[in-house]
Amino acid sequence: MESLIAASICLIIAVYCAIRAVLERETLLKLPFVNVMNFGIAGLIVLILPHPLTLVAAAAYFVGSTLEANAIASAYARREQP
């Protein structure tokens, strides 16, 4: 691992935002915290394992989780306004 400081900051931010997401009461407002957590994890994947294929893994993880957040938010919006 080349940069221990960078990796630990990413990890701390991801854990902090995971806790904030659990504590937040409104579902739609949880999603921005989950988004920051995804940023932290995607950065951490690459920092822990520097290899070209890891970039694909991080991008796949990030795009997949963004798509999930998109799906949750739009399903929730449709439920609130029938």
Partner 1 sequence: MLEEYGQILIATAIAWILFVTIDVFWRLPEKGGVSGADAIGSAIAKHGGDQHGGWMIGNIVSSPDASAGTLLAACGFFVAGIPGGIAAAALVYAGNRICHDSGYAGTSGALIATFVIAGCMQIGFGASDFIVGTVIAILTIQGISHPHASRILGRLWRWRA
Q: Which residues bind partner 1 (CB under 8 A)?
A: 2-3, 5-6, 9-10, 13, 16-17, 20, 26, 28-29, 31-33, 35-36, 39-40, 42-43, 46-47, 50-52, 54-56, 58-59, 62-63, 66-67, 69-78, 80
Residue pointed to by tokens 């929730």: 76
- Cβ atoms of 77 and 36 within 8 Å: the answer is no
Determine the residue type at 66: T
Rounded to a whole number of angstroms, the minimum distance from the CB of residue 81 to partner 1 is 8
Rounded to a whole number of angstroms, the minimum distance from the CB of residue 22 to partner 1 is 13
- Cβ atoms of 58 and 45 within 8 Å: the answer is yes
